[in-house]
Chains A and B, each alone.
Chain A
Amino acid sequence: MSNAASDYSLAELMICANAAIYENDGEVLVTGIGVLPRIAASLAMKTCNTEIMMTDSESWMLAEPNPLGPRPADFVQQNENWMGFARIFENVWSGRRHITGGPTQLDRFGQSNISAIGGTHQQPKVQMLGARGFPGNSISHLNSFLVPAHSTRVFVEGECDFVCTIGYNPERLPRGYSMDDIGLRHIITDLCVMDFGGPDHQVRVVSLHPGITAEQVQENTGFALAWADDVVTTAAPTAEQLSIIAAMDPHNQRSKQLRDNPPGDRS
C-alpha cells in the first residue's frame, strides 16, 4: 500500500485490517461492536466502500459516521432514516449486513460465545451478556470478529461453552442447509488476520502483524490452524487512514483498548 506510515499503534493496524474486510460488501449495513470495530466501520465507509450504511448505535441511519464520544455542541448528525431496533431486525433478516463482534470464546468451527462461561446453563459459573442478537446475525448475514487479546482462553480447544452463533460445525448444520449458507468472514486479532478459507472452512491465517511469528499465533490458539499459501505481513496504515481514524476518534479511545497500547510493529 502506498504512503505506509512508519509510526502507528497496534490498535490502528487492527482498525485498518478490520476496515479492509468490508471492501467488496457493497451496500450493506456495517456494525462494528466496540470501539475498534466501530472506528474500522467508519474508516471503511470513508475509504474502501463508500456504499456502506451505518447507524448512530441508537436509532438513526447516518449518511456520515459519527465521531466517537462527546461531540461539540454545534455538531449536526447526518441522518438518513429512522432505524430503531425493530427495523434493525428487519435489516438483519434481509441479509444486507456485515458485523464485527467481540466474542469471549471462539472455537475451531467459528462458533462464538458472549453469553456465559462454565457451569451449566441453569447455573453458569460466569454470567455475561446473554446471546443478544448473535444467533440471528450468524444465520442471516456476514459475520466477522475482532479479538483484542489472542489467547487459548478465547480460541478454545473444544466447543464454546454456550454457542451463540452458528459456525462450520457439521454436527449442528440445520437440515436443508449447506456450509456455504453460513457467512463467516474474518477474525482480526492483536497477532494476525484469519479467515475461514482452510479445508472445510477451517480457520486460516492470512496475514501476520509486523514482528509476530507463526509459532506465536499457533501457541495462543487452542486448535490447529490452517495457513494461507502466502501468509503476508498485515498492511501498515497509510497516512490518510491514520488521519481519518484520528478524526473519527477525537478522544483517542482507541489508545485504551489494548493493554499498554502497543506499537503496530513489534519486530
Chain B
Amino acid sequence: MKDKTMTATDVVAQLESGMTLGIGGWGPRRKPMALVREILRSDLTDLTVVAYGGPDVGMLCAAGKVKKLIFAFVTLDFIPLEPYFRQARQAGAIDVMEIDEGMMMLGLRAAAMGAPFIPTRVGLGTDVIRFSKDLALIDSPYDDKEWVAMPALKLDAALIHVDRASSRGVCQIKGPDHYMDDSFARAADATYVSCDELVDNSYFADESEARFVFWERAVTTGVVHIPGGAHPSSCNPLYGFDVPHFQEYNASAKDGGFASYADKYINGKSEDEYREAVGGLDAIRALPLPVY
C-alpha cells in the first residue's frame, strides 16, 4: 500500500523553474499557503501560475517567482485589491492571460479530459479575447455562430490544501465549497496536497465523510501534514481567515515592502516557527469564520 506522505521540502524538490502550477482555493479561502511559503524559500522561478487568486498569487508575485499569471481575479475579499498583485501589474512585471472565472474552470476541465479546448460563449465581445493571444475564436460545425475555444490549462503540478487526508491520498474538503480544486487536481500531472489533519484511511468508511472526497486517491501524488497550513487564508470549518494578519500584510506593501513581511514570517523560518510567530495552532483554529 502506497504511503504518499512527504514534507513540503519534498514537494518543492519535485517542482522545477519554468513549470505551470495550479493553486487551489479561492481568494483568501483554503489556499495551500504553507506550500506557497516553501516555494518562497526556494530558488524556483519563472513559474506560470493558474489560480483563483488570493495571497498565494500576491506573495509569489512579490517574491519575483511569477513569469506569467493566468487569472480572473486576485483578491483578499475584505481587502478587495491584493496589494502585491497590484504592484506587480502596475510595474508591468508579469505576463498575464486574463480570463473569466468560468473560463478557468472550462480550461481545467479540458485539460482533465484530454481535450485541446472547450467551446464557450464566455468572453465573446470583451477584451478578454482582445488581449489574450492564446484565445482563439472558432467556427462551429453545428451552427453559424462564432465560439471561444477555451484552451486546456494543463498543469505540471497542482497545489491544494484540504481539511484532512490519509497517507494513501484520500483527501477530504469539509468546508462549504471545494471550489475548482477537483478540476485543478485532475488537470495536473502531479497533485500535492497539504492537510490540516492526517487520518487513517478507515476514517472515510462513513458515507457522510466519504461524500466530501472530491477526487479519487490515484489523482493525489503527495500528502503533506501541515496543521494550520492554509493560514492566513481560511480552512472553513476549521478556521477563518486571519483579518489582522492580512491587514499587516496589506500595510507592508505601503511600508517596508514584502521583504519586511517575509523576513518576519517566512525567510529562514520553518513552518513550525511560522505557526508560533502567528500565535500558534490554537490561535489559528480559533480564528472566526467569515460572515458573508
Q: Decide if A138 touches B125 in the complex (CB within 8 Å).
A: yes
Residues of chain A with a CB closer than 8 A to B180's CB: 85-86
Known: A124-B90, A175-B146. A89 touches B105 (CB 8 A): yes
Which of B53, B128, B144 has the most chain A CB atoms inside 10 A of its CB? B128
Q: Decide if A56 touches B292 in the complex (CB within 8 Å).
A: yes
Q: Decide if A123 touches B292 in the complex (CB within 8 Å).
A: no
Instruction: Select from chain A the residue with minimum beta-carbon distance to B291.
Output: A70
Q: Which positions 85-100 of chain B face chain A at CB distance < 8 Å?
A: 85-86, 89-92, 95-96, 98-100
Q: Decide if B176 touches A84 in the complex (CB within 8 Å).
A: yes
Residues of chain A with a CB closer than 8 A to B126's CB: 111, 131, 134-135, 138, 163-166, 172
Q: Decide if A169 touches B92 in the complex (CB within 8 Å).
A: no
Q: A110-122 CB contact bits vs B (8 Å, 1 = yes)?
A: 0100011001111
Q: A8-29 CB contact bits vs B (8 Å, 1 = yes)?
A: 0000000000000000000000
Counting from the closest, the 6 A-B pairs by CB-CB distance are A123-B92, A166-B125, A176-B145, A59-B176, A84-B177, A127-B89
In the complex, whether A232 has a CB less than 8 A from a CB of chain B is no
In the complex, whether A130 has a CB less than 8 A from a CB of chain B is yes
Instruction: Select from chain A the residue with minimum beta-carbon distance to B92.
Output: A123
Size of B's binding interface in residues, CB under 8 A: 48
Residues of chain B with a CB closer than 8 A to A120's CB: 92
Q: Decide if B90 touches A135 in the complex (CB within 8 Å).
A: no
Size of A's binding interface in residues, CB under 8 A: 52
Question: Which residues of B pack against A, CB within 8 Å?
Answer: 26, 53, 71-75, 80-81, 85-86, 89-92, 95-96, 98-103, 105, 120-128, 130-131, 137, 143-146, 176-180, 183, 291-292
**Contacting A126 at CB < 8 Å: which of B90, B92, B95, B103?**
B90
Q: Which positions 88-132 of chain A face chain B at CB distance < 8 Å?
A: 89, 92-93, 111, 115-116, 119-132
**Contacting B91 at CB < 8 Å: which of A123, A164, A177?**
A123
Known: A123-B90, A127-B89. A133 touches B291 (CB 8 A): no
Instruction: Tell me, in angstroms, the Cα distance from A141 to B34 when the chains sit together.
Output: 39
Residues of chain A with a CB closer than 8 A to B95's CB: 122
In the complex, whether A57 has a CB less than 8 A from a CB of chain B is yes
In the complex, whether A197 has a CB less than 8 A from a CB of chain B is no
